Every structure is written in C-alpha cells, then in structure tokens.
Structure 1
C-alpha cells in the first residue's frame, strides 16, 4: 500500500501544474511561428547562440520534435552554433516541464534546471560552432530528411506538413489550434513516459532506503554515470521529472539529479544519428563533450551551492505541495487522466460543441 500511496502522492502533486504547463505550451505554439524563430536566431557568434538557447527553452518540443525545427533553421541559413543551441535548449526545459519541476522538485531545483539547460545549450553551441564537417553539401543542395521513426511523431509530422500549413482564421483559431496541439500531440507523446516516471518515482520513494542512495548517489562518479545513462535515452523533460523527484527524495544529491535532468531530455540515439549526418563526426564529438562536461560541472556547482546555503530541498518540495488544496489536486489528476486516455478524450470531445 505504501507504494501505491507514494505513486498517488507524486501524481496528485504534479497534475495541476502539468495542466497549467500544457496550457502555456499551447499558447506558445499558437503565437510563435517558425519563421519568427528563424529571424531571431540568425547570425553567428555568442549573441546568436545565446538567443537560440533562451528562445528555445520555453518551447513545447521534445528532443525529436526539436529536430525538424532546428534543421529547418540550419538549412535556412542559421549557423551550426545557434542551430545546436536551439536543438539542446528546446527539449532541455519547457513551460510544461518547468511547471511540473516546480511542483515536484521545488523552486531551487526549478531555477537550477532552467539555468543549466540554457547554459548547456550555449556551451555546446559554441563548441559545435567551432567545428567544420568533413563534407558539407553545397548551399541549397538537397539533404536527406531526418529519420524520426524512433522519435515522437508529432514533431516530424509537423515539419513535413509545414509547407501546406495554413493559418486558421483569426487569433481565436490559432489559440484553439495551439491548445489542441498541447492536449493531443504533446500529451500523447509524454503520457506513456510520464506514467513510467510516476511508477519509478513511487518505487524509489517507497522501497529504496534513503541512506542507500545517499551513499551511492553523489559525487563525480555518480554524475558521470547519470550522464552516460541519460544521453542515449529518449525521455522528454516532463517525464524525466517524476523520476528525478524519486531520486531526490530517496537520497540522491541535487547535483546528481540535475545531471540526469540535463542529459536525459536534451538528446537521444535518434537525435545523435541525425546530428552526425548534418554536422559530421567532429560536430558530434563536440556535441557529446559539451553536454557531458556541462552537465557534470553544473551538477557539482549545484551541490556546492546547496551545501553552502544549507538548503533543505525536501522541505521546499513539501512547501510547494501545500500551496494547492487537495480538491484542486484531485480535480487536476482526474482531468489530466481523462485527456491522456484517448477513448475518454474522444468521449469528452463528442460532448463539446464543434466549431462552425
């Protein structure tokens, strides 16, 4: 029973904040176009790379969903550095994952995660920007389309449909389309992994003695292991958060948890394959080195700051959990479950008025 209680407690804490994050993701989707992104990240140098990382951070795209957008920017004239920074910064953190991070990990870890995602994107973008692929196609030459068979489908479908995309009538239509995207495409992409994350988090909290992970889950060695495990995974930022919460509450240090939160969402085996094809072997090496070194150094820095400030991360998590009354948490979980389960969502949609 303690295992079920732990899973339910994590789910109740996360549900209302995740719903809020999905709403914000839908608004961003409706109001920010790919053409506007292309203009914002044009140019070269630190300024362009920093802009790409910061602009990409709140966008609601997973690592595979970010591939088509980043490649469109690269092939449209953006240099290697900004394209890489966008490719890393976008899945590293988003408005949906920021909301659930605040709910499950507390304000300090939320700020640390957002800052670390942007810094990792900037550092890696600078490293990749200094490399040159052994063979670059001539400007304007056609390149193969990214293979996203092993990725989430929404990002690739969106990229393939982009030329035929037409703006829905007026702001109301765009907002409706953005919310539909958030509560169908995004939610479908993360729901299975989110469920896995909740199960793992509940198991870690209920079954693993805190002392055991506290002894094994801190220091440089543990952080390197987290980075090596996280980089090839395909796990979106939102789904990784419950697992991080379970690790943290089971005794793993905040810095080690942060390494997992950086490494797991920003890339995957599919991303690595596409990146190598576009940027070459030297670019891929710089990409991996940038992510791993940045994640570990930032993890060590977060552990140092938490120790220096004598932060009680567990208490912060408890205080956030006390912000919302229980009925809102239960309502959020019921609504989220109804939207995540496709048959229930279809029944709900049947009872809603259809646009003319």
Structure 2
C-alpha cells in the first residue's frame, strides 16, 4: 500500500469524523446524552421496569420497546446513549435490545422517506418487519442471557410528584431531540428550540434538588466518557471502509434475490455507518446499479441498526458475548427477512 493511498484513507477517516461532528453532535448526540442521563438518574427504577423490566409482562415490555422507536429520529449511534441509560437502569436485556434495534429502524421520518424514495412496498415492509424482528431479537436475547439474571444495584426512588416531574422532563428532552428533525430551516428550528431549552432548564431547577441535578449531570458525563471516544474511533474506520468498499463494488454482489446477495447486503449494511435517513439515498443509488429489492430490505434493516462504531460500543455496554450475539442475530434475521421479501414480491 503506497503512502499516498494510506494518506488518502486516513484523510477519508478524518473527514468522516469531521462530518459526523458537524452534523450530529449539537442537535443529536448532546440532547441524546442529556436524555439518557436523565433516564439513568432521575427516573426511579420502578418507572422504567414498569415497561422494560425483566419482570414486566412480555406483551407490555416488548410492545412498548418495539413501538417507542417511532417517536425518535435516531441513527445507530445516537440511540446508544439512550440504550445505555435504559439498560443501566435495570431494563431486561430482551426489551432493551428490542428498543436498540427498533429505535433507528422504524422512526417515522425514515419510514416515510423510504416509502417516497424506494417505493411504498419497501417502506411498509421496513416498518412492519422491523417491529416484528425487534421483538424476535429481544425474545432471543432474553432466552439466551436472562436465566439467573442478577439484581442490579439499588437505586433511590422518588415519590409520586417526582415521578410526574421526571415524566414531564422526559417529554421536554424528547421534544428537544425531535424538533431538529421536524423543521428543515434554522429559523423555525431556533424559534422553537431555544424557548424549549430555556423552559426545560428553568423547570429542571424548579423540580429537582441540587443533589438530583448533580446526579443527572454526573450520569450524563459518565455516558459521554464511555461512549464518545469509541464512537469517534468507529466513525473514523467506517469512513475508511466506505472508501475501501465503494458502492459500485458492493452492488456487484447484491443483485438478484439469492441467499448470498441478501447476506452480503446485510453484512455490508452492518459495517457501514448510516446517519438518520442517509441509508435511503445510498440504497436508492445501489438499486439503480442492479441491487435486488430483497437485499435492499436486508440493508435497510441491518444498516440503521448496526455500524462499526455501534458494534464497538454495544460490546462495551453489554459485554463481548452478548454484543456478539446481538450483532449476529441482527445480520442473520435481516438476511432472512430480505430473502423472504424477495421471494414474496418475486
């Protein structure tokens, strides 16, 4: 490998990091970290376990986990601090991984955009299949790893008023996270976002004690330190991988509806980094080059759910064995879903 080509790849990696920081830190990652820190510190364990805990009724916990992704416009990396907050708070690994898969896969903006660009068959199939697969993945992870699950550390709980305030804070922080995805112009975004942030800060000081606010900031900073370095390293190498594996090269192996083409699409999508909605134009370009609809669905499912930085951080949060199991499940199930979709429409 020549020094010029190596320098080119390094520059591609740094450019990937630069673009990521410019596009995602201010409006995506920072609100996501604050939201995750609030979940980890200001929400009582019972309020989270009510829907996500291992002891909650499965029809409740998995339904909420699968559907909650519709409320968030997050990519495979932005969802990580939210997942870490839920998982750390005591949620069962089944509902937590259901949420981890569903949140980036079925946000409303991505589904609508997919239908408009790639066709309503792929748009509807992406939504329906992603919800179903997220539950299957969660149930499988629970069956594999929740036997003999140990109790997490005791967490202080709040009274009824604190539950109410925590829920209201969650709604406000969720609004801060979602507003940039709704409004395309900076003027409209600022007109809504700035007052919303100001209200959130004011009510936070009004509702919570100094100790609780300190705990919130501490949890947020812990997540930033744990996730951000690995995230940036992963984004750097993901930028290099995109250069090493150009779309034209990948497209040669994902034509038709065979098992191999769906597997290649699933693995390729898992290795690439797709920020929110960017998977759609990339896959649109690949379909013009001959990509089959089955492989397109496989990449639509695996791509937003996984990426190289995502895999690194997931393994750090859950442990290497659980992380590898989750990654393998996503790739296999996305492949089978694409194969089935190609067979149905074929």
Q: TM-score, normalised by structure 2?
A: 0.57
Query: Which of 262, 268, 281 is 1:229 aligned to?
Result: 268
**Higher mean C-alpha displacement, 109-118 vs 48-57:** 48-57
Change beyond 3 A, Cα 1:122–1:253: same
The alpha carbon displacement at 1:269 in A equals: 2.4
For the Cα contact (< 8 Å) 2:266–2:299, is it kept in 1?
A: yes
1:71 and 2:110 are equivalent in the alignment: no
Pairwise CA distance, 1:281: 3.2
**Residue of structure 2 equivalent to 1:303:** 342
Pick one of 52, 77, 81 that aligns with 1:41.
52
* Residue 113 of structure 1: aligned partner: 126
* Residue deviations 1:47-84 (CA, integer Å, cap 9, x gap): 42233112224421111211111221122221000001
Structure 1 match to 2:199: none
* CA distance in structure 2 between the partners assigned to 1:223 and 1:83 by the alignment: 27
2:281 to 226, 238, 242: 242
CA contact (8 A) 1:94 1:237 kept: no
Report the counterpart of residue 196 of structure 2 in structure 1. none
Alignment correspondent of 1:271: 310
- State how far apart, in whole Å, the 1-side matches of 2:328 and 2:105 are: 16
Deviations 1:265-319 (A, max 9, x none): 1022232223223323331232122211211111111111112xxxxxxxxxxxx
**Cα deviation 1:163-201 (Å, max 9, x = unaligned):** 999959x99x9968852475579xxxxxxxxxx9xxx9x
| 1:261 correspondence with 2:309 | no
Quote the residue 2:73 is aligned against. 60
Contact 1:120 1:290 in 2 (8 A): no
Range that drifts further, 99-108 or 37-46: 37-46
- Per-residue deviation, 1:134: 12
The question of whether the paired residues in 1 share the 8 Å contact of 2:79 and 2:100 is answered with yes
* Matching residue of 1:179: 179
Say yes or no: does 1:88 pair with 2:101. yes
Give the distance between the partners of 2:130 and 2:52, measured in 1 at CA.
17
What is the TM-score when the length of structure 1 is the normalising length?
0.55
C-alpha contact (below 8 Å) 2:66/2:134 kept by paired residues = yes
Would the aligned equivalents of 2:254 and 2:265 in 1 still touch at CA under 8 Å?
no
> In 1, are the aligned partners of 2:274 and 2:304 still within 8 Å (CA)?
yes
Q: Is the 8 A contact 1:83 1:125 kept in 2?
A: yes
Go from structure 1 to structure 2 and tell me whether the alpha carbon gap of 1:226 and 1:276 turns closer, same or farther (over 3 Å shift): same
Q: Structure 1: 5+ residue runs without aligned partners?
A: 1-21, 143-162, 186-195, 308-356
Matches within 5 A, 1:134-213: 139-140=152-153, 178-180=178-180, 183=183
Q: Distance in 2 between matches of 1:120 and 1:274?
A: 21
Q: How does 1:284-295 map to 2 (within 5 A)?
A: 284-295=323-334
Q: Kindly indicate whether the alpha-carbon contact (under 8 Å) linking 2:115 and 2:123 is maintained by their aligned counterparts in 1.
A: yes
**Structure 1 residues 38 and 182, CA gap change in structure 2 (3 angstroms):** farther
How much is the aligned-residue C-alpha RMSD, in angstroms?
4.5
Residue aligning to 2:114? 101
Q: Distance in 1 between matches of 2:267 and 2:253?
A: 20
